[in-house]
Structure 1
Amino acid sequence: MRLALLRLLFVVALPLVLVTVWWLASDDSTDVYWPPLRTILTTFPDVWTGERLRADVVPSLLRLLAGYTAAAVVGVALGTVIGSYRRVRAVCEPVLEFLRAVPPPVLVPVITLFAGIGDTMKIAVIASGCVWPILLNTVEGVRAVDPVMAETARSYGITGVARLREVVLCSAGPQIFAGLRQALSVGIILMVISEMFAASNGLGYTIVQFQRRFAVPEMWTGILVLGLLGFALSVVFRVVERRVLAWYHGLRASSRRS
């Protein structure tokens, strides 16, 4: 019980300090672009009603989920193939290095030309940015599979799908989840950017509309919603990661004790 309370204290200590500093630093502010935190928090419940959450937050989350899922499937599948075969990796590596160097926001006008201005464009933008951390981490994870483990599995007749699931993906799992964690942050950023272009709803669209109307406190509430959304998704991701990689975290914990 004491350990759990101590961990909770570590988790909430820094946010409380930052909020306190923000409150004190902005309390006497008369700057229209830097309103007091008190004003922002007072405005928050008036802006983010249940209707607005359904109209803006839910569509943003659905686009993020669709783009992120597509990137995860493509990234893990291609990364497994590229990481498993040296010749495929030699052929693909120059192209991958070229494509990953192109910032995803630059592709928004190009994707808009082909996909239009609907949800397809926004999902494609999110997927185009999220795929690279997942793909590259999967490649490195598959390349790092212990050759002794792979040879042992072969000697026991573990081949095909069973070898892919039990040896390759299991061994590369920590690296793959590292890429998935990076991609989640990228996806949230691209979700907002894509909604700033020719959108009619979503968090990015709403924040821009507040900014254009000089509704500064309302704009800050949208930024707070984005921060809370990122935190909530990070917590959910950590729970999933703990469940999927329970064997890995258990192995690390036992190695620390020994």
Structure 2
Amino acid sequence: MTFTSTVLVRTREARRQKRSGLPKWVLIGAEILVPILLLALWWVASAGSTNTFFPPLQTILQRLVELLGTPMFWGDVGSSVGNLVLSFVLACAIGVLLGIVLGTSRWLSALVEPTIHFFRAIPPVALVPIFVSLIGFGNETRILAITLSALFPVLISTIDGIHATDPDRRAVGQIYRLSRWDRVFSVALPEASPRILSGMQVSLITAFVVMVASEMLGSSNGLGARTLLAQQSFMIADMWVGILVLGIIGYAATALLSLFRRRVLRWYIAIRQQEKNL
């Protein structure tokens, strides 16, 4: 190996280390350590608190342990998680299917997109009172409100992803005489998958917010309703337990979706990594 080639190799390795940033184990450790430090800070800041609305963290955790042994608590958790999962899956399925139909038809997309963007601009929480007024306070109302609120990010990202398909790849599909739907599912949809999954992440956040809001508005089931009832009844420890559990559920749902996204887009992440290392 010559001196020049040695310098080039070392320079390349230095660039890779610089671009890669912190080691993976440091990032994972920070992700675990930061919540622990925040809880420790909360414990210290609230210790000995006499404020009615800011009880010690020890009191909140003790109440959480007590509620974990009650069927009512697990019924509320099951109701909230069930509505969130069902509505999110429905929103993703409907959004992807409609996005494929609209994305493959330019004239239909141009005709419908102004209406889609109009409803997307409405704050999702504002739709909840409308559905309650039209349908009532049943569980179906909450599922419908969550589904429609979470639908638009997936729908729009699917349409944009299919519209952004590389023309060269489309031409290759035509050269090989693939049918229209073969080109959609073999070329356009895989290329649009990063955008679609990014839209799903936005939809999950929207679904979670609307889930809590719909439970707080005229419902007696779910963590949102139980948290609001605890606040109105001055059961402050129960209120903090509800907030804490809702945060845990939201974090867990986001982490699971991120893991799913990394598994599905493993090929895409590998390509991006190779491009960075060049």
Q: TM-score, normalized by length of structure 2?
A: 0.86
Q: Distance in 2 between matches of 1:73 and 1:257?
A: 36
Amino acid at match of 1:93: E
Aligned to 2:50: 30
Q: Distance in 1 between matches of 2:68 and 2:213?
A: 20
1:91-135: per-residue Cα shift (whole Å, max 9, x none)? 112212211111222222221233322111000110121011111
Shift of 1:174: 0.3
Shift of 1:231: 1.3
Aligned to 1:126: 146
Q: Distance in 2 between matches of 1:32 and 1:53?
A: 23
Q: Distance in 2 between matches of 1:70 and 1:79?
A: 14
1:57-206 to structure 2, matched below 5 A, reads 57-206=77-226
Q: How many percent identity over aligned positions?
A: 34
Shift of 1:222: 0.7
Amino acid at match of 1:162: D
- 2:68–2:74 Cα contact (<8 Å) kept: no
Q: Distance in 2 between matches of 1:212 and 1:53?
A: 18
Segments of structure 1 that go 5 or more residues without pairing to the other structure are none
Amino acid at match of 1:54: W
The SS at the match of 1:78 is helix
Shift of 1:220: 0.4
1:21 pairs with 2:41: yes
1:147-188: per-residue Cα shift (whole Å, max 9, x none)? 111111111122233222111110000000000011111111
Amino acid at match of 1:33: F
- 2:215–2:221 Cα contact (<8 Å) kept: yes
**Which of the pair has more CA radius of gyration?**
2
The SS at the match of 2:221 is coil
Amino acid at match of 2:91: A
1:219 pairs with 2:239: yes
The SS at the match of 1:117 is coil
Distance 1:30 1:73, change over 3 A: same
Shift of 1:213: 1.1
1:50-104: per-residue Cα shift (whole Å, max 9, x none)? 5234311111111112211121122112222222322122211221221111122
1:254 pairs with 2:265: no
Aligned to 2:261: 241
Q: Distance in 2 between matches of 1:224 and 1:48?
A: 13
Q: Distance in 2 between matches of 1:9 and 1:65?
A: 29
- 2:67–2:73 Cα contact (<8 Å) kept: no
Aligned to 1:46: 66
Q: Distance in 1 between matches of 2:57 and 2:192?
A: 44
Q: Distance in 2 between matches of 1:30 and 1:53?
A: 27
Q: Distance in 1 between matches of 2:208 and 2:79?
A: 13
2:31 to 7, 11, 14: 11
After TM superposition, which residue ranges in structure 1, 4 or more long, deviate above 3 angstroms? none
Q: Distance in 2 between matches of 1:109 and 1:145?
A: 39
Shift of 1:252: 1.6
Shift of 1:4: 5.8
Segments of structure 2 that go 5 or more residues without pairing to the other structure are 1-22
Q: TM-score, normalized by length of structure 1?
A: 0.93
Q: Distance in 1 between matches of 2:152 and 2:257?
A: 18
